[in-house]
Amino acid sequence: MKTRIQELRKANKVSQAELADALDVTRQTIISLEKGRYNASLELAYKIARYFGKTIEDVFLFEDYE
């Protein structure tokens, strides 16, 4: 799954470590999310979207696999 986390983080001048601390996850989790190697749980997706003042759909780009 693709995300806009890195784009939003950089636009808000937030480091990976700062975002990880705010969301109570590791920096490695943020790195994995940004690189598309890890899919966030619904709870984490909500926290990320809320942190940036966006909806989940604004942060996570769902692709239709049909």
Question: Is it the case that residue 8 has pLDDT exceeding 60?
Answer: yes
d(CA 18, CA 66): 37
12 located within any domain? yes
User: Residue 26 belongs to a domain with what CATH number?
Assistant: 1.10.260.40
66 located within any domain? no
Structure tokens at 23: 């969301």
21 located within any domain? yes
Q: What is the pLDDT of residue 49?
A: 98
Q: What is the pLDDT of residue 64?
A: 63
Structural domain including 53 reads 2-61
| Total domains, the chain | 1
49 located within any domain? yes
9 located within any domain? yes
Give, as one character, the DSSP assignment of residue 33. H
Residue in the block written with tokens 């109570």:
24
The pTM for the full model equals 0.89
Q: What is the pLDDT of residue 65?
A: 57
Q: Residue 23, CB half-sphere, CA atoms under 13 Å: how many?
A: 28
Q: What is the pLDDT of residue 62?
A: 81
d(CA 39, CA 43): 11
